[in-house]
Structure 1
């Protein structure tokens, strides 16, 4: 009899796991039945593309779907959309599910369970946060809801709360749609995954687009009409954001204050969570202490190779790799997920932003002894047409000279250089190793010393 594998969540991690399990099982002659449930309307889509869909750069929603539910069904995966998992009974091996808009529940038995429930936008319990017009953006359905609101209400003023990746990208999307945009951030500079000196470049780029950037403020609530506050959509649409430093008019609000693991279902079932709130899994993506329960993607916490501790970093790159590893093991193969180093890129206007490893704040929190170096350079030889400015910052450990982290901000051609630093971190290289590594050179692509190598050389000099 075929073993039934039930997957909760039909995006990157879940469907990567299902597809890989099907392929590996078929090669080994193992018979499996794959059932995937998701309360949304889409499978295998690019959540990272949502701000660019909202801004009009790419077509959506279908343009953001890598593989549709019907394509998955044709490949032997029973995909059930608009179907929410309500409870997991580990003792009987069953998942209680209900179709959206229905009160009737059914039970799905499983031999193996895969949790790929993702993350949810952080929504602090502030007055009025559930008002109409206040949006978190995490799923394709969220993006569709924002676009529908923009079309129906035709707002003129947007306030973005939080200046992280999604906040910056959605702020730019609103500008591209012709709205006046204010970004509110509690920290001294936008993009807190960067150090403040690098984040200041991001502030300048945002202001150059006409975005009002207000930092060092705390949001206290959302008004739905002059002088009133409502905690429910029935109270009306958002009209103002209140902070400890004043009020800001808004016809639409986007919450960009991060995401937390969607693990309530797992927690209710008694599955173990780590300090980050994510599911704790081993390197084969099996939930600790549960032989037939697996998890991957934004709902798990991940081992950070530089910090040697567990973190929650919700990115599609990790979700796809973890899903592949999970699926290979479920299908009868043998694979491990080796961890992360915290690499990410983004952009605002034409400013490219990249980081890997640990920032100064993270190094301080971990008690690391380090040096930092920052250099200014260009993306090409300075005399070559089209050379663009960029800034590289490197963090290196004082005692071992190993690289701990790096950050890059600059114009076209800057950000993907972070991958060189990421590979160096992955392999435990020292600043001196990177400075003397054999990298390519031609004037249209780089100065004779690549900016990353210049920063590494400067760090090595300081460590000697």
Structure 2
């Protein structure tokens, strides 16, 4: 009996996790695996790129979990610098182009995995394609940025956007000695937080020497006669720049899937069932940054680009494509980040998310410390908690503080996944010692305050 063939489009977290797991499920005699990757690298940590650029990670190789050669040793036919350019769903085949030679060929499949990731948002602005303007999504992007920094004489950097990538790249450029300006459209940086919590981030960034300009819509990138970037132009001002980094966010890279008629959601991501099968297609799976996922708190679908999800998706896809069974129930939207010494975390819903979902809620904000107040080095930490007004169900938590603050959000992530109320949270048996926490952990103090707010609000 001839082996089935699984074709994987995309050689990073979701794609190669799927290929590796499928290989564990079935040997080469039963399942042939062919993978296409248009870049130069596989199985790498895109989340680590800002720390590589900033010098915390000394070399690119440290970000690579598994090389193409290591994948091939596991009987995976991995074809690098090869871009899939067409999916023929009825014919069960993929057309791919060798980027070195331009040659194209068709490869048939019995099972298909779409793991095309996400692409940086690049608004259609004059000068957006100028030399010195960079998006940062892949290792190739990171290398291109480093090459630019190494070849740039000036010392002024402008980051457009103040989300996770924006603030992390601002820190990286600051560490490299650049004068950094962050320009963004929002009221406060970190739109993944409510504005009152984003204000804390803004204050901290200013104190670090990063100029943060909010409410500023970029209208153009000004270039010199040599075609290099010279400044970022907004409606009200112009900010000189020798290098520009786009941190506006990412969107699902589903151009290929959309052209093939595969179902896309409101955010442009592929829609799948619990087993990560593309809806309506029994032999096609999708995972990683190109899909939309179920938000377990609001019940809606969202696009969340995180390596944690991508690796889990890949494991589930590989198990199912290999003949096993696994499911991905959804997410609660947990994310952490940092800018210099400031840690930033969130999970669940923001106020505007709860409003959009039609939920009535109360909020509670507490200021505490990351260790017992009397312990040397105790530093400030702010926790904001949202709870459903009638039931007291936890809806979301945001944390801004110093070392030891961000990972506390995992307490709330577990509570959200379990559907806990804020009152139930107050009895959680969390670890305590003065170097790690006050006797009442700040998350539990916020839960107590949220319980009081729920009771005060009544029905």
- Same fold by TM-score greater than 0.5: yes
Q: Structure 2 stretches of 5 or more lacking a match?
A: none
After TM superposition, which residue ranges in structure 1, 4 or more long, deviate above 2 angstroms? none
The 1-side partners of 2:29 and 2:215 are apart by 57
Aligned to 1:265: 256
Aligned to 2:271: 280
Secondary structure of the 1:339 match is coil
Aligned to 1:316: 307
Deviation digits for residues 141-196 of structure 1, max 9, x if unmatched?
A: 00000001111223311110000000001111111111111100111110000011
1:303·1:339 contact (CA, 8 Å) conserved in 2? yes
Aligned to 1:115: 114
Counterpart of 1:355 (choices 329, 340, 346) is: 346
Deviation digits for residues 210-239 of structure 1, max 9, x if unmatched?
A: 11110011000111128xxxxxxxx70111
The 2-side partners of 1:157 and 1:251 are apart by 5
The 1-side partners of 2:189 and 2:349 are apart by 17
Aligned to 2:20: 19
1:205·1:349 contact (CA, 8 Å) conserved in 2? no
Secondary structure of the 2:397 match is strand
Alpha-carbon shift at residue 103 of structure 1 (Å): 2.3
Alpha-carbon shift at residue 10 of structure 1 (Å): 0.4
Aligned to 2:411: 420
Secondary structure of the 1:242 match is strand
Alpha-carbon shift at residue 259 of structure 1 (Å): 0.3
Counterpart of 2:445 (choices 451, 454, 459) is: 454
Aligned to 1:191: 190
Alignment of 1:41-80 (within 5 A): 41-80=40-79
Alignment of 1:147-186 (within 5 A): 147-186=146-185
The 2-side partners of 1:95 and 1:30 are apart by 22
Alpha-carbon shift at residue 102 of structure 1 (Å): 2.2
Q: TM-score, normalised by structure 1?
A: 0.96
Alpha-carbon shift at residue 30 of structure 1 (Å): 7.3
Secondary structure of the 2:57 match is coil
Secondary structure of the 2:384 match is strand
Secondary structure of the 1:254 match is strand
Q: Structure 1 stretches of 5 or more lacking a match?
A: 227-234
Change (3 A) 1:110 1:421: same
Alignment of 1:188-267 (within 5 A): 188-225=187-224, 236-267=227-258
Change (3 A) 1:70 1:30: closer
**Number of matched pairs:** 454
The 2-side partners of 1:215 and 1:381 are apart by 35
Aligned to 1:334: 325
1:136·1:254 contact (CA, 8 Å) conserved in 2? yes
Secondary structure of the 1:374 match is strand
Aligned to 1:33: 32
